[in-house]
């Protein structure tokens, strides 16, 4: 699939005033014209861990991965713009089977069910894109790389993620959260950091999926921000000056809400209205399933995510994951190596480092298995002043 530089836009959506609970800030996302021809529901699997088969044919054969999978989402749509009929009636059955090891076996991340439904695992499309980033490894036999790197690339690659149940206060915040009539999503901030964004097509869908946020995945560092971060409070309060009538009060409230919306949209600016690398991975009738990643700037926050959009670009579904600083560094390093054809000397020059510094950076990022041992040992000797100096 071709990757394009695009932006995730909030067209047709608006932000309501935030609600606060300790270090958590939850910003409602409202949609004035909900979709009727595209709907979303949840299918529970009854467990946390599962095996996902990525190849066609028998589930116990071929490529698969293990992950935390509490539920799937099922999208239903019509091709002519008419309302989705009998929504939710056919979503009760589970498509999971038992693997040989006893874990649940789920066939593929995205699976078409009939002509008008798509079952997919939330965030897995985005995470698969991140985990497989330059997964093949070196495509030329540079002398620094090990035999394993040349034959298997970055196989296997894994990341440690945390469940939302470990984010302090999120369960209680969602319990007391006031849901607006036209609400279709929420932005979750932890100590004023955007932790995730979640948007669905219809207010009824959001009410049904509101508590599913507790099963989401979060970077481990957000757990510590939740514990040690300071409580947040309202950034703007009603300006009572000049309020002498109901119309004045209405205008003051509108001004305050406008300030709030502008503030939180700017705080989420690394996801919305900002160029991201986006790739379409599936076509579901008139809708496109996409995954995206921000520019991997090590000095800024970075996010991966998945979306479902109409042909006109209207955003119907969104779920994002904030990368930790370590995850960003790993992805950035792989991207730079790939851009330079996996030539360490060229990549070191691009990164303004010496050859040995980049070798140790690769090792410290967890990719030491890609390099020959003698390459790492020589870099360590040079780095700590026990070997030949580099030119």
Residue of 292, 308, 318 lying closest to 117 (CA atoms): 308
User: Which has more confidence, 283 or 103?
Assistant: 283
1: exposed, middle or buried (Cβ count in 10 Å: 0-12, 13-18, 19+) = exposed
Confidence of residue 13 (pLDDT cuts 50, 70, 90): very high
Contact 258, 16 (CB under 8 A): no
- Identify which has the larger pLDDT, 283 or 70: 283
3-state secondary structure of 149: helix
Torsion of the alpha carbons at 16, 39, 215 and 1, rounded to the nearest 10: -100
**Residue 106 confidence (pLDDT):** 82
pLDDT for 391 beyond 60: no
CA distances from 346 to 1, 17, 193, 271 (A): 28, 49, 35, 31
pLDDT at 204 over 90: yes
The reported pLDDT for the residue numbered 227 is: 65
| Contact (Cβ atoms closer than 8 angstroms) between residue 147 and residue 97 | no
Q: Between 239 and 206, where is the model more confident? A: 206
| pLDDT of residue 304 exceeding 90 | yes
Phi and psi of 226, rounded to 5°? -65, -35
Global pTM reads 0.87
Alpha helices in the chain (DSSP H): 124-131, 147-152, 170-176, 203-209, 220-228, 246-267, 325-339, 344-350, 355-362, 373-383
Q: Write the pLDDT tens digit of every residue in 15-73.
A: 998 888 888 889 999 998 999 999 999 988 876 678 887 776 555 566 777 888 888 99
Ordered by start, the domain boundaries in the chain are: 3-325
- For the cut 60, the answer to whether the pLDDT of residue 89 exceeds it is no
Q: Are 29 and 196 in contact (CB under 8 A)?
A: no
Question: Are the beta carbons of 78 and 121 closer than 8 angstroms?
Answer: no
For the chain, percent of residues with pLDDT exceeding 90? 43
Give the pLDDT score at 249.
75
User: Which of 58-72, 193-207, 226-240, 375-389 is predicted with the least confidence, judged by mean pLDDT?
Assistant: 226-240
What's the mean per-residue pLDDT of the chain?
A: 84
Q: Which residue has the higher pLDDT, 66 or 143?
A: 143
Q: pLDDT: is 151 or 85 the higher one? A: 151
Other Cβ atoms closer than 10 A to 238: 12
Give the max Cα distance, the chain: 80
Q: 60 or 199: whose pLDDT is higher?
A: 199
Q: Select from 137, 195, 129, 194 the least CA-distant residue to 159.
A: 129
Q: 308-352: per-residue pLDDT in tens?
A: 999 998 999 999 999 999 999 999 999 999 999 999 999 999 999
């Amino acid at each position: 699939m071709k990757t394009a530089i695009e932006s995730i836009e909030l067209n047709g959506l608006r932000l309501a005033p935030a609600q606060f609970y300790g270090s958590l800030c939850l910003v409602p996302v409202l949609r004035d014209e909900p979709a009727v021809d595209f709907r979303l529901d949840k299918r529970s699997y009854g467990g946390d861990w599962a095996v996902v088969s990525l190849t066609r044919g028998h589930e116990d054969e071929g490529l698969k991965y293990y992950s935390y999978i509490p539920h799937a989402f099922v999208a239903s749509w019509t091709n002519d713009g008419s309302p989705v009929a009998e929504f939710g009636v056919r979503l009760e059955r589970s498509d999971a089977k038992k693997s040989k090891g006893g874990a649940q076996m789920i066939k593929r991340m995205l699976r078409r069910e009939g002509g008008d439904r798509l079952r997919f695992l939330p965030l897995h499309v985005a995470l698969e894109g991140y985990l497989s980033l330059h997964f093949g490894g070196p495509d030329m036999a540079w002398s620094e790389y090990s035999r394993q790197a040349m034959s298997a690339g970055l196989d296997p690659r894994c990341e440690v993620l945390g469940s939302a149940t470990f984010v302090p206060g999120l369960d209680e915040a969602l319990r007391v959260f006031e849901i607006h009539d036209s609400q279709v999503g929420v932005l979750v901030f932890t100590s004023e950091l955007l932790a995730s964004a979640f948007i669905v097509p219809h207010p009824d869908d959001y009410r049904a999926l509101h508590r599913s946020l507790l099963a989401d995945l979060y970077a481990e560092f957000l757990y510590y921000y939740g514990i040690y971060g300071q409580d947040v409070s309202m950034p703007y309060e009603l300006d009572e000056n000049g309020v002498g009538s109901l119309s004045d009060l209405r205008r003051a409230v509108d001004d305050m809400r406008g300030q709030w919306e502008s503030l939180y949209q700017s705080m989420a600016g690394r996801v919305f209205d900002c160029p991201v690398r986006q790739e379409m991975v599936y076509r579901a009738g008139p809708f496109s399933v996409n995954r995206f990643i921000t520019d991997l700037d090590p000095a800024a926050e970075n996010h991966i995510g998945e979306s479902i959009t109409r042909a006109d670009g209207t955003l119907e579904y969104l779920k994002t994951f904030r990368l930790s600083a370590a995850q960003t560094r790993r992805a950035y390093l792989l991207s730079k190596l790939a851009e330079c054809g996996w030539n360490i000397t060229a990549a070191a020059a691009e990164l303004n480092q010496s050859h040995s510094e980049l070798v140790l950076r690769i090792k410290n990022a967890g990719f030491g298995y890609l390099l020959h041992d003698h390459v790492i040992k020589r870099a360590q000797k040079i780095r700590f002043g026990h070997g030949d100096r580099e030119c």
